[in-house]
């Protein structure tokens, strides 16, 4: 099978189709510019067809025995394991991800599929007491119905499955709109896996399109009850506003401006470990990750030693062809992103920052840059940097570190490195983020732990019990045993 030939289509009601729009989305390899596929966009009519198919199929799926539903996910997991190598190749080609990143994405996706197998059996009802004699209150947890999923380009296979798998496992149907930079890995590939795993037709649909063609039809449509979106806070604000105006639940995983904080109590071994964590936190997938560490905050008492080690490690990173197993930095997703990063560095230097490492830009290949001396009131301190550019920020003591970390409008992830774990936990509790990691990387995602942010980093959580909250609703059914008295 050629993924970029066979899967570069719409998938609606169990059929692979060509969109009826008047223009094509062109899928490019971001490293060499090779044209991978041309996909004619879906129109609002096809969005409607996808949602109506999902609505019809969901009625039967919702009452299907959950032990039967989970068999589908067992088969999907086996297929991903069997096809891991070819999925890795597709991620490298379509996203410009290094081989290390691609393997990480596929293996993490497998863990989320294992969790989905269990999620099918997770919903529990409750029986609650009543002040009325002879009355029984039953609270049922039921699927919401149909879920609309809008996935990003950076981890489209993993992030897509993080919503698709639990939503389906819990008895819902799904319509996915993948990012136009990842229409196959984030769309067609997921549909093919579930099709081959014998998911009934109509339960999973993929529409490859763009707001320029359909406007807000994907969000405004009357069928979906929940919209799960992962992407920038700018777009997320719009998605949330439109969804809210139609009384839909929105799960929003948005931008981040994470800080990795290095406290003053680390010995040389601890600093070496913190350097490794900082490099991983910033440069995995070229920094195109919402949880990446935009800022490395270092106590001045260890600033010199940490900076020397960190700069040396960054200079040793190999940028190049993502197909080369030794490559650690591949291309950013497109030319616009490469140009934006170059402009950002130029702006920082013009404002007085110093480049400890100044990477070159060759096409979409952007080499790492390390900046220091960025003013506290600079816009760069408060924005997400989606690429291999990092700010080194010194601080004097914990109180200043907390203040600097909390000055960001975002609050997704973060990390703190210290020789005292409990000190680290105490520090982490003071940071206004949805996730903080003591002596780890800022980039972490596990299938049983709530993933999500505070402030401009989003609303709602995914994974584990949070997925049950996201994709189910509660229904109260009371039963009166015997007769009672009414107020009138």
CA–CA distance, 226 with 474 (Å, rounded to integer): 14
Bridge pairing between strands 414-417 and 258-262: parallel
67 C-beta neighbours (distance < 10 Å), count: 9
Question: Where in the sequence numbering do the catalytic residues fall?
Answer: 253, 290
CA–CA distance, 2 with 217 (Å, rounded to integer): 31
Tokens representing 19?
Answer: 């969109």
E strands, 323-396, in order = 354-357, 361-362, 365-366, 369-372, 389-395
One-character DSSP codes across 32-58 = T--EEEEEEPP-HHHHHHHHHHHHHHH
428 C-beta neighbours (distance < 10 Å), count: 18
Distance (Å) of CA 299 to CA 305, 353, 371: 11, 19, 16
Q: Cα-atom radius of gyration of the chain, to the nearest Å?
A: 24
CA–CA distance, 375 with 393 (Å, rounded to integer): 9
SS3 211: helix
The angle, 0 to 180 degrees and rounded to 10, between the axes of the packed helices 156-169 and 99-119 is 10
Alpha helices in 120-231 (DSSP H): 156-169, 189-196, 211-214, 217-220
**Residue 354 DSSP class:** E
SS3 252: strand
Q: Which of 60, 3, 57 is nearest to 29 (CA)?
A: 3
Q: Which of 407, 310, 398 is nearest to 357 (CA)?
A: 310
CA–CA distance, 204 with 163 (Å, rounded to integer): 12
CA–CA distance, 152 with 51 (Å, rounded to integer): 20
């Amino acid at each position: 099978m050629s993924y970029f030939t066979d899967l570069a289509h719409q998938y609606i009601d169990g059929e692979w189709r060509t969109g009826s729009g008047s223009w094509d989305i062109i899928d490019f390899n971001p490293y060499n510019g090779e044209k991978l596929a041309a996909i004619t966009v879906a129109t609002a009519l096809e969005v409607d067809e996808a949602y109506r198919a999902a609505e019809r199929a969901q009625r039967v799926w919702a009452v299907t025995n959950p032990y039967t539903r989970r068999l589908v996910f067992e088969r999907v997991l086996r297929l991903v394991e069997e096809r891991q190598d070819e999925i890795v190749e597709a991620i490298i080609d379509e996203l410009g991800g290094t081989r290390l990143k691609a393997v990480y994405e596929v293996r993490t996706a497998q863990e989320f599929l294992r969790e989905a197998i269990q999620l099918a059996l997770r919903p529990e009802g409750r029986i609650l007491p009543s002040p009325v004699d002879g009355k029984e209150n039953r609270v049922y947890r039921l699927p919401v119905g149909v879920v609309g999923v809008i996935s990003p380009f950076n981890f489209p296979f993993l992030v897509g499955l993080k919503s698709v798998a639990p939503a389906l496992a819990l008895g819902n149907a799904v319509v996915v709109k993948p990012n136009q930079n990842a229409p196959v890995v984030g769309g067609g590939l997921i549909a093919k896996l579930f099709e081959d795993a014998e998911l009934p037709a109509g339960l999973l649909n993929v529409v490859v399109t763009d707001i320029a063609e359909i406007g807000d039809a994907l969000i405004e449509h009357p069928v979906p009850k929940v919209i799960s979106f992962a992407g920038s806070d700018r777009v997320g604000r719009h998605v949330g506003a439109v969804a809210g105006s139609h009384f839909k639940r929105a799960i929003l995983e948005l931008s981040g401006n994470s800080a990795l904080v290095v406290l003053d109590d680390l010995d040389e071994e601890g600093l070496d470990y913190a350097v490794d964590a900082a490099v991983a936190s910033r440069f995995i997938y070229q920094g195109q990750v919402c949880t990446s560490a935009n800022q490395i905050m270092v106590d001045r008492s260890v600033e010199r030693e940490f900076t020397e080690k960190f700069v040396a490690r960054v200079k040793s990173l190999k940028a190049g062809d993502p197909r080369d197993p030794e490559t650690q930095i591949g291309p950013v997703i497109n030319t616009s992103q490469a140009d934006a990063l170059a402009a950002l560095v130029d702006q920082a230097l013009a404002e007085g920052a110093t480049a400890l490492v100044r990477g070159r830009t060759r096409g979409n290949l952007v080499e790492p840059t390390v900046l220091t001396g960025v003013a506290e009131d600079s816009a760069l301190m408060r924005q997400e940097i989606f690429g291999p550019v990092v700010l080194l920020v010194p601080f004097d003591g914990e109180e200043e570190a907390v203040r600097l970390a909390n000055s960001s409008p975002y609050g997704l992830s973060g990390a703190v490195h210290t020789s005292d774990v409990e000190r680290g936990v105490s520090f982490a509790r003071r940071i206004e983020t949805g996730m903080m990691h003591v002596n780890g990387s800022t980039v972490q995602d596990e299938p049983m732990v709530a993933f999500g942010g505070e402030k401009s980093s989003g609303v709602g959580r995914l994974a584990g019990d949070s997925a049950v909250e996201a994709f189910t609703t509660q229904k109260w059914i009371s039963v009166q045993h015997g007769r009672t008295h009414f107020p009138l």
